[in-house]
């Protein structure tokens, strides 16, 4: 089982099943499709807590994000393909729009040029599935 930690701003969206993906850089081992994921806020702190029931990973795909020198996102490729709408992609990742995503990335990572990582996606939490119409 693989665990991921999130900023507290994303916890309600994850709990409600509205955010079902995360963008992550390299690490020893990411989740694999079919594996269960544990999603937390504040891992490795005294305030650590689990966001929702364990969720099943549905895909792990390479992502490339091109940043302009000022920090704006110039483009995104997921598995070699551009999302049809970058604002929609940003909303799926828990942001209000692309500008919100750019602001977050600039504050947290200060990326410039090409950034390589992985887009990890999962099924909605079980507690939310029963609540869907």
Q: What is the CATH number of the domain that holds 27?
A: 2.30.130.30
Report the number of distinct structural domains present in the chain: 1
For the whole model, what pTM was predicted? 0.90
What is the per-residue pLDDT across 123-133, written as a single tens digit (0 to 9) for each? 999 865 555 44
Range list of β-strands (E), 25-100: 36-41, 49-50, 55-67, 73-78
What is the per-residue pLDDT across 34-89, written as a single tens digit (0 to 9) for each? 999 999 998 888 889 999 999 999 999 999 999 998 889 999 999 999 999 999 99
Q: Which of 21-35, 94-108, 119-133 has the lowest mean pLDDT?
A: 119-133
Structural domain including 58 reads 2-129
**Backbone angles phi and psi of 96, in degrees to 5:** -70, -35
In this prediction, residues 17-33 reach a mean pLDDT of 92
């Amino acid at each position: 089982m693989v665990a991921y930690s999130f900023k507290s701003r994303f916890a309600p969206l994850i709990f409600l099943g509205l955010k079902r993906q995360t963008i992550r850089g390299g690490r020893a081992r990411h989740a694999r499709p079919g594996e269960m994921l544990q999603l937390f806020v504040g891992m490795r702190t005294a305030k650590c807590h689990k966001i929702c029931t364990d969720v099943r990973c549905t895909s792990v795909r390479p992502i490339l994000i091109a940043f302009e020198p000022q920090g704006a996102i110039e483009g995104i490729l997921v598995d070699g393909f551009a999302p049809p709408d970058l604002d929609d992609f940003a909303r799926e990742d828990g942001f209000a729009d692309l500008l919100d995503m750019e602001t977050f990335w600039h504050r947290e990572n200060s990326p410039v040029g090409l950034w390589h990582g992985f887009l990890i996606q999962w099924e909605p939490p079980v507690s939310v599935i029963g609540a869907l119409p």
